[in-house]
Structure 1
Amino acid sequence: MHHVLRRLDLNLLPVFDAVFRHGSVRLAAIELNLSTSALSHALSRLRDFFKDPLFYREGHKMCPSVYACQLAPYIAETLSGLNRHLSPLQPFDPLTSDDCFRIAVTDYTAFCVFPGLMNALTNTAPKLSFELCHLPHNPALIELLAGEIDMALSFSEPDGMHHPDLEETDLFSDEFIVIANTRRSSLNLQDYLAAGHLVVTPWNEKQGLLDSHLARLGLKRRIAIRTPSMLSAPFIIAESELLMAIPSFVASKIKQAADVNLFKLPFPAPRFTVKIYSHKRSGKREPTEWIKTMMANSIMEKTYRFDD
């Protein structure tokens, strides 16, 4: 393996790159802090290895051969990549950092976190950017372990599974409440089970948290619509006889946007916890920890209270 590289002194590659960029042995030697004779000797070794002149003199300029022109972009890219990845990590400075974070979210978790976070970052980290992507499953374990995403925003019940390579940062606890059209003035368990339901399934799951809990109670509700997005759901509820269970964190905002009434869930159900999931060996360790702290600080827990 790497039989060619074993025969090549890799210290010669910066020599090739410098001569190609400067078109001059003298200027390349100055950049690399070598004498011109030492650089000329290194160039001779490169010519012997590649069996090609690589550079020829034309007046005062060293012009690359056809083969050198073919090699140059690959050598430059390789040296640049190695230099970038082998350089000591610079301390993270949020005021100047232009890092981009790739974060897996659902409609709900993005709604909870990003309004407050982006406001908080306006003056503290103005150059940071985010790429939000659909959370393919909960809690995007494969993508986190593969380094495809930096973090995932999701939620779990108290008895949820834990992976040893993932860090879980609790943001806040929430619970489900029910929304219905304004024609409904009360809601009991019998009404709830008799109605049709709209269920948001961000991972296209066959059974949601409440359906699993109802099954443990020996109960079942009728699902009329499953949708991966929360955006249209409140407006469907406002114009139909369907019910929808939503996290209380978003209830007051939804009530402002759609003509709906809110009710307590007519049966006991466990609360769930909204969490940040990240890999314990993330390449963006310091920036990730800083963003996680900012997320936690920017959350203002606003759950709907029926005594308001």
Structure 2
Amino acid sequence: MKQVHFHHHQMNEIQHNLRRLDLNLLQLFHALYRLRSVTEAAHELAMSPSAFSHGLSRLRVALDDALFVRQGTQMVPTTKSIAMADSISLALKLLGETLERGQTFHPSRSERTFTFASTDFTAFAVLPKCIAAIQKLAPHLSLRVRYADHNIPLDDLRAGRVDFSIGYDLPASSYAPDIVAQDWFVDQYVVVSSKNHAVCSEGLTLESYLACKHVVVTPWNQARGDIDQLLDDLNLQRQVAVHLPTVLAAPFIVGHSDMLMTMPRLAARTLQQAAAIALHTPPFAIPDYCVKLFSHANYAQSDAHAWMADTLLNTTLQ
């Protein structure tokens, strides 16, 4: 009986806390936590900065915490905000998904925002065509792209901060059971050089490949690239002269030097439009580069997520 009474007391306390809190303010919290700017968060919620600041003041009183403090140009979350952020994000996501199930998703009329996680390597290669296709079908949708700090950002997918993550294939055993992984496309690797590379102009051989210096992009600051690990298996080693965290500078470094870079063909073709580079067939066998679309099982079955996944997966990229 004591346990029942305690549970009843807890429920009354929870209900009291919810009654004194305007749940609309949780959207305000969620926007400011993500954007760290009152101006940007207010714009996203179609509010004036003054109205947003007033709402933030009410939320601070209701939760008895400053929640965000200004440091330079950013609003930095307090310890209490950080502790609450994932739960609030997930609650808003689940509420939105629950309400959405009672309604038919109409792409042409929807004004919702989809958030993607991707490296710049993947984003510039696949998103331009995808966004063009989405805009034709759903002109009022908003898209937000975040840098993926892991191949599969599990915490962000689970918390609903990210709707989809674009990443490369991993062994099936690497996937968490609550992650939905869909095959997107398969690409082949190419070797990239400057247009006037002396060695490559004569035909790229394994010997000349290994004799050249190389540029390697490791988006998560890995000690070595995937190609280096493959060469290890072949008892071979190349000379890595430049490590980069992003791909944007790489083709211009290659285009103005005698260094080489090994990367997927689709990305290389896109970069070829901006840099003086040439593409070559690798002088050794490299497994295909397989890209997947990751989402969380809690949201993957909603009409909106299913539509977006189908649109992405059916967009011709090659």
3-state SS of the aligned residue for 1:143? helix
Q: Tell me which amino acid in the other structure corresponds to 1:231.
A: L
> 156, 161, 165: which one pairs with 1:143?
156
Question: Which position in structure 1 is the counterpart of 2:197?
Answer: 183
Question: Which position in structure 2 is the counterpart of 1:263?
Answer: 280
Question: Which position in structure 1 is the counterpart of 2:110?
Answer: 97
Q: Does 1:119 align with 2:132?
A: yes
Change (3 A) 1:7 1:271: closer
Question: Which position in structure 1 is the counterpart of 2:213?
Answer: 196
Does the CA contact (< 8 Å) of 2:135 and 2:141 recur in 1?
no
> 6, 12, 15: which one pairs with 2:12?
6
Does the CA contact (< 8 Å) of 1:139 and 1:154 recur in 2?
yes
3-state SS of the aligned residue for 1:197? strand
Provide the aligned C-alpha RMSD in A: 3.3
Q: Does 1:106 align with 2:119?
A: yes
Question: Residue 194 of structure 1: CA displacement?
Answer: 1.3
Unaligned runs of 5+ in 1: 18-69, 76-80, 302-308
Within 5 A, what are the aligned runs for 1:154-193? 154-156=167-169, 161-181=174-194, 182-184=196-198, 185=201, 186-193=203-210
Q: Does 1:153 align with 2:166?
A: yes
Q: Tell me which amino acid in the other structure corresponds to 1:101.
A: F
Question: Which position in structure 1 is the counterpart of 2:143?
Answer: 130
Question: Which position in structure 2 is the counterpart of 1:60?
Answer: none
| CA–CA distance in structure 2, aligned partners of residues 256 and 8 of structure 1 | 58
Does the CA contact (< 8 Å) of 2:264 and 2:289 recur in 1?
no
Q: Percent identity over the alignment?
A: 34
Does the CA contact (< 8 Å) of 2:125 and 2:270 recur in 1?
no
> 239, 244, 259: which one pairs with 2:256?
239
| CA–CA distance in structure 2, aligned partners of residues 9 and 187 of structure 1 | 71
Query: After TM superposition, where is structure 1 displaced by more than 6 Å over at least 4 residues in a row?
Result: 7-10
Q: Tell me which amino acid in the other structure corresponds to 1:170.
A: D
| CA–CA distance in structure 2, aligned partners of residues 290 and 283 of structure 1 | 10
| CA–CA distance in structure 2, aligned partners of residues 104 and 115 of structure 1 | 15
Q: Tell me which amino acid in the other structure corresponds to 1:183.
A: H
Q: How many aligned positions are there?
A: 241
| Structure with the larger helix share | 2
| CA–CA distance in structure 2, aligned partners of residues 281 and 142 of structure 1 | 13
Q: Tell me which amino acid in the other structure corresponds to 1:290.
A: W
| CA–CA distance in structure 1, aligned partners of residues 234 and 15 of structure 2 | 71
Question: Residue 297 of structure 1: CA displacement?
Answer: 1.7
Question: Residue 245 of structure 1: CA displacement?
Answer: 0.7
Q: Tell me which amino acid in the other structure corresponds to 1:6.
A: N
TM-score (norm 1): 0.69
Does the CA contact (< 8 Å) of 2:122 and 2:267 recur in 1?
no
Q: Tell me which amino acid in the other structure corresponds to 1:217.
A: L
Unaligned runs of 5+ in 2: 1-5, 23-57, 64-90
Q: Does 1:285 align with 2:305?
A: no
Which deviations, in whole Å up to 9, do the C-alpha atoms of 1:67-95 show, x marking residues without a partner? Answer: xxx89x959xxxxx99x939743222111
Q: Tell me which amino acid in the other structure corresponds to 1:125.
A: A
Question: Residue 273 of structure 1: CA displacement?
Answer: 0.8
Does the CA contact (< 8 Å) of 1:100 and 1:128 recur in 2?
yes
- Who wins on radius of gyration, i.e. which is larger? 1
| CA–CA distance in structure 2, aligned partners of residues 240 and 252 of structure 1 | 19
| CA–CA distance in structure 1, aligned partners of residues 171 and 316 of structure 2 | 21
Does the CA contact (< 8 Å) of 1:171 and 1:299 recur in 2?
no
Q: Tell me which amino acid in the other structure corresponds to 1:199.
A: V
Q: Tell me which amino acid in the other structure corresponds to 1:219.
A: L
Q: Does 1:276 align with 2:293?
A: yes
| CA–CA distance in structure 2, aligned partners of residues 199 and 8 of structure 1 | 53
TM-score (norm 2): 0.67
Question: Which position in structure 1 is the counterpart of 2:314?
Answer: 297
| CA–CA distance in structure 2, aligned partners of residues 132 and 229 of structure 1 | 15
Change (3 A) 1:8 1:264: closer
Does the CA contact (< 8 Å) of 1:198 and 1:244 recur in 2?
yes
